[in-house]
Structure formats: C-alpha cells, structure tokens
Structure 1
Amino acid sequence: MTGAGAGGSARARRSRRLFVAVSVALAAVALIVEPIARQALSAGRTIDLGPLQLKLAYNTGVAFSLGNQLPTWVVLSITAGITAGIGAYAWRSAPINSLAAVVGLAAIFAGAAANVIDRAVDGKVTDYFHTGWWPTFNLADTYLTCGVVLLIAALLLESTRESEKESSS
C-alpha cells in the first residue's frame, strides 16, 4: 500500500487514469447501446436468446423498481449524489487500491453514471435484458454487479495476502 502522500506519484496518476478510462469507456458503451435497444425492441418486440431475452422495459425507480412512486427529481438527486460519492471515493482510493479494485470501482461508477444520465434524459432508466425469473435490467446494471463482484474479490485477495504476510513475519 502507498502512503497518504502518494497523490502525485506516477502510480497514483496511472491508477486514476485507469479509473477514468475504464469508467468513460464502459459508460459510453452502455449509453450507446441504450437507444439501439429502444429502437430494436420498440412496439413490444422481444428477441429470444435462449435463457436471456431482449425485451424493452422502463424503470422509474432504482434497483428492483424501489422508489418508483417518488418524483423523478428525488430519485435523480439521490442516485446522482450516491454516484458522485462513489466517484469521489474511487478517485481518492485509486492510488492505494489494486488494479482489480480500481477496475471494479470504475465498473460500479460507470454503471451508476450511465443510469443517472439515462434517467436525466427522460426520467426513467431503459432496461432490456430479461430472464423471466429476475427483474429486467440493462448493461449499466451488469457493470454495477460485475464491479461489486470484482471489488469484493480484490479486497478478499488483498486481505488474504496481508494475513499471509503477517503470519510469515
């Protein structure tokens, strides 16, 4: 781990550049796919891909449609605030995090930011992946989930390595 004064080090700059690059790339892909899905799945069209279908749905709430009765400005304000907090934390912690943790945080931030941007445009998030047994979701939601899994795995691996170092000392 790097000390508190690492904000200007080459490693800190590389980690932060990686965070920004991955965040921007992932969010851009999600935001490009969303209008394509809207157009391809309009008029109730469903595309069957086996265990997954492409089916258009809209979510005015947050995860699992929680808060869908709240005014759009409330949901947008809360989700934008949480997203900004995630971004600030990821930026500040990037210099001391592993590569996997930085990428995980970037995926979380990108997914959250893409959903905030989608909601800001028309007051709802466009979802298009449908399983039949799970609520319909989108690419940004997939980034969030994969980012959380990657971040947890990175933190567990780091914790295991630190425990091994301490026990061998």
Structure 2
Amino acid sequence: MALAVLLADQASKYWVLYDLHLPARGVVEILPVLNFAMVWNHGVTFGILAGDNATRLLIVVAGLAVVALSIWLWRAPRLTTSLAIGAIIGGATGNIISRLQYGAVVDFIDAHIGRYHWYVFNVADASIVCGVAVLIFDLRERPE
C-alpha cells in the first residue's frame, strides 16, 4: 500500500508539473466542483509553519513519523490496520520527497462548491487522511 500510494502521488505531481504545466497555467477547471490549482505549500495545512527552518523541521518530524509507523506496521494485527498505516507511510513519504525536491509540497486538487473551496491538497494528503480515518474506525472496532 505504501508503495502504491507513493507511486501514485509522485506520478500525479510529476504530471501536473511537467505534462499539464500547472505552475504556468495556475488553475484548470476539471468539473464544476473540481479544479486543478497550483499551490506550493511551504508549511503544513493552510500554510502553517512555513519557512526554511520549518521545512527542515517538517521533514525530520515526518521522517520520524514514518519510522514509528513502520514499527507499528510490522506489529499490526489486522490487514485493515496494515493497509491504513501503509497509506499514511506512502503519503508522508511522498510529501517528504516533495519538500526535499522542491522545498515545498505540490498541492493541486481543489474541490469546491461555487465559491466555497476546501483546502488544496494532493494524493499524499488524501491517502494520509483516509489512512487515519480507517485507523480510527479500525481501533474502535477492536475487541477489548
């Protein structure tokens, strides 16, 4: 799962940067509720913790999280837990690669209803959120 997410994330970022040329185009309407909009996220959600020192810190913290999650993955008792952790590891690794390669995370998926937009995200972000959601439900269903 981690490898599948990582490959999908990196391929989608490469495509929007070098095939779609999204940095030059800015915004491309895909559907009435979905755009591709180029955002270089130098921080975390909503640009919190943006800056050179913060970028290094975010890489280190994400790297430590990947190590901790890998240990949890090794000990995971259920397939759903393993898949969820794998999705989170793949997403975190994809965003680490972006920060190392570009100094920022490549965000481009812009879901919206009319003029109300959700934050712009990428495949890695979506995988992390879905992985965490599955972990929450998986842990709730675990018998005591």
TM-score by length of 2: 0.85
Q: Deviations over 1:109-148 (max 9, x none)?
A: 1111111111111211100011352221100000001101
Q: Is the 8 A contact 1:61 1:70 kept in 2?
A: no
1:114 partnered with 2:99: no
1:47 partnered with 2:28: yes
In 2, Cα distance between the equivalents of 1:23 and 1:146?
Answer: 13
In 1, Cα distance between the equivalents of 2:70 and 2:95?
Answer: 14
Q: Structure 1: which 4+ aligned runs deviate by more than 4 Å? A: none
Structure-to-structure mapping, 1:148-167, within 5 angstroms: 148-158=132-142, 162=143
How big is the shift at 1:29?
1.2
In 2, Cα distance between the equivalents of 1:108 and 1:52?
Answer: 24
Question: Could you list the runs of 5+ residues in structure 1 that have no partner in the other structure?
Answer: 1-21, 164-169
1:143 is matched with which residue: 100, 122, 127?
127
Larger Rg belongs to: 1
How big is the shift at 1:70?
4.5
Aligned to 1:26: 5
Aligned to 1:87: 70
Q: What's the % identity of the aligned pairs?
A: 25
Aligned residues: 136
Residue 131 of structure 1 aligns to a residue in which SS? Answer: strand
RMSD across aligned positions (CA): 1.7
In 2, Cα distance between the equivalents of 1:123 and 1:90?
Answer: 28
Aligned to 2:47: 65
Q: What letter corresponds to residue 34 of structure 2 in structure 1?
A: L
TM-score by length of 1: 0.73
Aligned to 1:15: none
In 2, Cα distance between the equivalents of 1:103 and 1:85?
Answer: 15
In 2, Cα distance between the equivalents of 1:124 and 1:55?
Answer: 15
The structure richer in helix per residue is: 1
Residue 50 of structure 2 aligns to a residue in which SS? Answer: coil
Question: Could you list the runs of 5+ residues in structure 2 that have no partner in the other structure?
Answer: none
